[in-house]
Structure 1
Amino acid sequence: MKTLIIGPSWVGDMLMSQSLYRHLKQAQPEREIDVLAPDWCRPVLARMPEINNSIAMPVGHGSLQWGVRKEIGRELSQQSYEQAFVLPNSLKSALIPWFAKIPMRTGWRGEMRYGLLNDIRPLDKEAFPLMVQRYVALAYPPEQAALQKEQILFPQLEVKAEEQAKAIDQFSLQNQKSIAFCPGAEFGPAKRWPDYHYAKLAQMLIADGYSIWLFGSQKDRAACAQIIDQLSDHEKDQCYNLAGETSLPQAIDLIAACKLAVSNDSGLMHIAAAVGTPLVALYGPTSPGFTPPLSAKAEIIRLIEGFHKIRKGDADQGYHQSLIDISPEMAYSTAEKWLGDE
Structure 2
Amino acid sequence: MKTLIIGPSWIGDMLMSQSLYRHLKQQNPAREIDVLAPNWCRPVLARMPEINQAIEMPVGHGSLQWGLRKQIGKQLAHAGYEQAFVLPNSLKSALIPWFADIPTRTGWRGEMRYGLLNDLRVLNKDAFPLMVQRYVALSQPAQAPALTLDDILYPSLTTDSTQLANALAQFTLTTDNAIAFCPGAEFGPAKRWPDYHYAALAKKLIVDGLQVWLFGSEKDKETCQHIKNQLTEQEQRRCHNLAGSTSLPQAIDLIAQCQAAVSNDSGLMHIAAAVGTPLVALYGPTSPGFTPPLSQHAEVIRLIDGFHKIRKGDADQGYHQSMIDISPEMTYTALQKWLAA
TM-score (norm: length of structure 1): 0.99
Amino acid at match of 1:77: A
Match of 2:116 in 1: 116
Whole-angstrom distance in 2 between the partners of 1:81 and 1:317: 49
- Counterpart of 2:85, as a letter, is F
User: Would you identify which runs of 4 or more consecutive aligned residues in structure 1 move more than 3 Å?
Assistant: none
Residue identity opposite 1:104 in structure 2: T
Within 2, Cα distance between the matches of 1:78 and 1:312?
47
Aligned-partner residue type, residue 334 of structure 1: A
Distance 2:3 2:99 in 1: 15
Number of the residue aligned with 2:58: 58
Q: Per-residue CA shift, 1:86-143, capped at 9, x if unaligned?
A: 0000000000000000000000001110000000000000000000000000001011
For residues 209-241 of structure 1, give each alpha carbon's deviation from its aligned partner in whole angstroms, at most 9, with x where no partner exists. 011000000000000011001100110010100
Q: Does 1:295 align with 2:307?
A: no
Which amino acid in the other structure matches residue 207 of structure 1? V
- The C-alpha deviation readout for 1:145-192, integer Å capped at 9, x for no partner, is 110011100000001112111111110001111000000011221110
Secondary structure of the residue that 2:305 maps to in structure 1? coil
Using the alignment, how far apart are the partners of 1:317 and 1:23 within structure 2?
42
Alpha-carbon displacement from aligned partner over 1:296-334 (angstroms, at most 9, x marks no partner): 000000000000000111111110000000000000000
- Tell me the residue number matched to 1:310: 310
Q: In the alignment, which residue of structure 1 is the partner of 2:273?
A: 273
Give the structure 2 partner of residue 25 of structure 1: 25
Aligned-partner Cα distance in 2 for 1:153–1:207 = 38
Quote the Cα distance in structure 1 between the aligned partners of 2:110 and 2:305. 28
Whichever residue aligns with residue 3 of structure 1, its letter is: T
2: distance between equivalents of 1:232 and 1:187? Answer: 31
Is 1:105 aligned to residue 105 of structure 2? yes
Corresponding position of 2:93: 93
Q: Which residue of 2 aligns with 1:211?
A: 211
Percent of residue pairs identical = 74
Q: Deviations over 1:70-93 (max 9, x none)?
A: 000000001010000000000000
C-alpha separation in 1, matches of 2:118 and 2:187:
35
Q: Any stretches of 5+ residues in structure 1 without a counterpart? A: none
**Separation in 1 of the partners of 2:301 and 2:310?**
19
For the residues of structure 1 that align with 2:187 and 2:201, how far apart are their CA atoms?
A: 23
- Amino acid aligned to 1:337: K
Q: Distance in 2 between matches of 1:28 and 1:90?
A: 28
User: Which residue number in structure 2 is paired with residue 41 of structure 1?
Assistant: 41
Distance of 1:317 and 1:85 partners within structure 2:
40
CA distance in 1, matches of 2:88, 2:308: 22
Q: Does structure 1 residue 222 correspond to structure 2 residue 222?
A: yes
Cα distance in 2 for residues equivalent to 1:17 and 1:190: 25
Q: Distance in 2 between matches of 1:102 and 1:188?
A: 38
RMSD, matched Cα: 0.5
**Structure 2: runs of 5+ lacking an equivalent:** none
Q: Tell me how far apart the structure 2 counterparts of residues 163 and 312 of structure 1 sit (CA, whole Å).
A: 37
Partner letter of residue 288 of structure 1?
P
Q: Quick one: which amino acid aligns to residue 68 of structure 1?
A: L
CA deviations 1:244-269 (Å, max 9, x no partner) are 00000000000001000000000000
The amino acid that maps onto 1:204 is K
